[in-house]
């Protein structure tokens, strides 16, 4: 599959709306106050919301994640001062709104998400998804597999999300990567999980992942250190022999410690710092990143909006490492 980006036919590139043009507290809340359009046609990358939390097991509320992340994104500016990435200089980007999930039927919602992503990525657009609980990764990976074949995954999370069932059900936010393995959606030798920790039901909860070929980096391996050296290893692993194999990033906000991101359904202590989260995302530069998500942000458990603010910034950082992004010298 070609790594080429779709052309924009010299159409002027969309830009986030600046605070000097319209006050940041005014206007319609799109991601970074970008233009809204209904489809991904003509876009190199897009932001899309999936307001879904029927798969949650503890605290619900992730259905409100996309709206709150967009609200907190108003402070983001187009140029990345740290990395010199200037994504809006070279990519056509827009907010394409939300997938219309079914609040009463998890099975119908899964079908709707998969169908929506079939269309979103059909022309090569690279979606950055704002969830929603982690169940949504499964239908997204289904769509990705149809276009790209088995893909590599960088999965940041407190939990492995490889349960066979939860409460006797096969579809839940703790099962998406088990289902993805069973369906052959992943190139398991190119899957890395970072930040796993906490208590479990069985000693082999994380070992199942290792048995499939995943590289598992438990949170304890990340304490008190920069993750830049780790990301060099990750790049070598997930890029594949060709160096440009397709890779998907799935970032559960509970991969971060709840002191940084309390607004989530299943918080676990001893997690990653915000700085380490940035190192992980920035460390993916140069990969053939075909899509990404930020999930499990539950605004009702963080009235100050801190978790959504972190999520908005991480989503922007994901855009900054998409193929084709310009960097200013």
* DSSP state letters, 63-132: GGHHHHHHHHGGG--SS-TTT-EEGGGT--EEEEEE----TT-HHHHHHHHHHHHHHHTTTS-EEEEEES
3-state class (DSSP) for residue 295: strand
In angstroms, the CA 138 to CA 13 distance is 32
Average pLDDT, the chain: 95
**Does residue 9 lie in a domain region?**
no
In angstroms, the CA 320 to CA 142 distance is 25
The total number of structural domains that make up the chain: 1
Backbone angles phi, psi at 99, to 5 degrees: -70, 135
**Does residue 35 lie in a domain region?**
no
> Model confidence over 90-104: pLDDT tens digits?
999 999 999 999 999
**Does residue 7 lie in a domain region?**
no
Nearest CA to 75 out of 14, 15, 17 is that of: 17
pLDDT the model gives residue 23: 87
pLDDT-derived band at 26, boundaries 50, 70, 90 = confident
pLDDT-derived band at 2, boundaries 50, 70, 90 = very low
Which run of H or E residues covers position 218? strand 215-218
pLDDT over threshold 50, residue 3:
no
3-state class (DSSP) for residue 32: helix
Beta bridge partners of 155: 193, 250
In angstroms, the CA 191 to CA 84 distance is 28
**Does residue 37 lie in a domain region?**
no
**Does residue 2 lie in a domain region?**
no
Nearest CA to 282 out of 156, 121, 165 is that of: 156
In angstroms, the CA 174 to CA 209 distance is 13
Please tell me the least confidently modeled range out of 17-31, 247-261, 272-286.
17-31
pLDDT-derived band at 234, boundaries 50, 70, 90 = very high
Q: Report the percentage of the chain scoring pLDDT > 70.
A: 97
pLDDT over threshold 60, residue 1:
no
The mean pLDDT of 236-257, rounded to a whole number, is 97
Regarding beta strands 93-98 and 326-327, do their DSSP bridges make them parallel or antiparallel, or are they unpaired?
unpaired
3-state class (DSSP) for residue 297: coil
Q: What is the CATH number of the domain that holds 273?
A: 3.40.800.10
Beta bridge partners of 152: 247
Is the backbone of residue 54 left (phi > 0), alpha (psi -120 to 50) or beta? alpha
Which run of H or E residues covers position 191? strand 186-196
Q: Which domain holds residue 182?
A: 42-327
pLDDT over threshold 60, residue 51:
yes
CA torsion sign for 263, 264, 265, 271 is negative
> Model confidence over 123-154: pLDDT tens digits?
999 999 999 999 999 999 999 999 999 999 99
Regarding beta strands 126-131 and 45-50, do their DSSP bridges make them parallel or antiparallel, or are they unpaired?
parallel
pLDDT over threshold 60, residue 219:
yes
The mean pLDDT of 158-182, rounded to a whole number, is 95
3-state class (DSSP) for residue 158: coil
pLDDT-derived band at 27, boundaries 50, 70, 90 = confident
pLDDT over threshold 70, residue 119:
yes
In angstroms, the CA 110 to CA 156 distance is 22
**Does residue 178 lie in a domain region?**
yes
**Does residue 16 lie in a domain region?**
no
**Does residue 289 lie in a domain region?**
yes
As given in the structure block, the two tokens for residue 309 are: 């603010």
Is the backbone of residue 19 left (phi > 0), alpha (psi -120 to 50) or beta? alpha
């Amino acid at each position: 599959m070609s790594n080429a980006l779709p052309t924009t036919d010299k159409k002027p590139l969309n830009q986030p709306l600046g605070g000097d043009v319209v006050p940041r507290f005014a206007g319609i809340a799109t991601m970074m106050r970008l233009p809204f359009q209904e489809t991904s046609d003509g876009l190199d990358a897009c932001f899309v919301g999936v307001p879904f939390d029927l798969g949650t097991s503890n605290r619900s509320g992730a259905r409100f994640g996309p709206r709150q992340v967009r609200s907190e994104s108003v402070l983001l500016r187009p140029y990345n001062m740290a990395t010199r990435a200037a994504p809006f200089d070279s990519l056509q980007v827009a907010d394409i709104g939300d997938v219309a999930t079914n609040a009463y039927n998890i099975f119908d919602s899964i079908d709707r998400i998969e169908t929506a992503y079939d269309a979103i990525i059909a022309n090569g657009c690279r979606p950055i998804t704002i969830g929603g609980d982690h169940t949504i990764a499964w239908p997204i990976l289904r769509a990705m597999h149809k276009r790209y074949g088995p893909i590599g995954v960088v999965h940041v999370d407190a939990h492995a999300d490889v349960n066979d069932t939860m409460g006797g059900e096969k579809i839940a936010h703790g099962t998406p990567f088990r289902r993805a393995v069973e369906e052959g959606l992943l190139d398991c030798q190119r899957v890395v999980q970072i930040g796993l920790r906490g208590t479990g039901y069985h000693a082999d909860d994380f070992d199942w992942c290792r048995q499939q070929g995943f590289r598992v980096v438990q949170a304890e391996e990340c304490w008190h250190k920069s993750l830049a050296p780790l990301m060099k290893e990750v790049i070598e692993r997930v890029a594949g022999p060709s160096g440009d194999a397709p890779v998907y990033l799935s970032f559960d906000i509970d991969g971060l410690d709840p002191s940084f991101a309390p607004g989530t359904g299943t918080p676990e202590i001893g997690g990653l710092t915000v700085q380490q989260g940035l190192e992980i995302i920035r460390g993916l530069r140069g990969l053939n990143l075909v899509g990404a998500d930020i999930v499990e942000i539950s605004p009702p458990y963080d009235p100050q909006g801190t978790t959504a603010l972190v999520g908005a910034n991480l989503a922007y950082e994901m855009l900054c490492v998409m193929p084709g992004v310009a960097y200013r010298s």
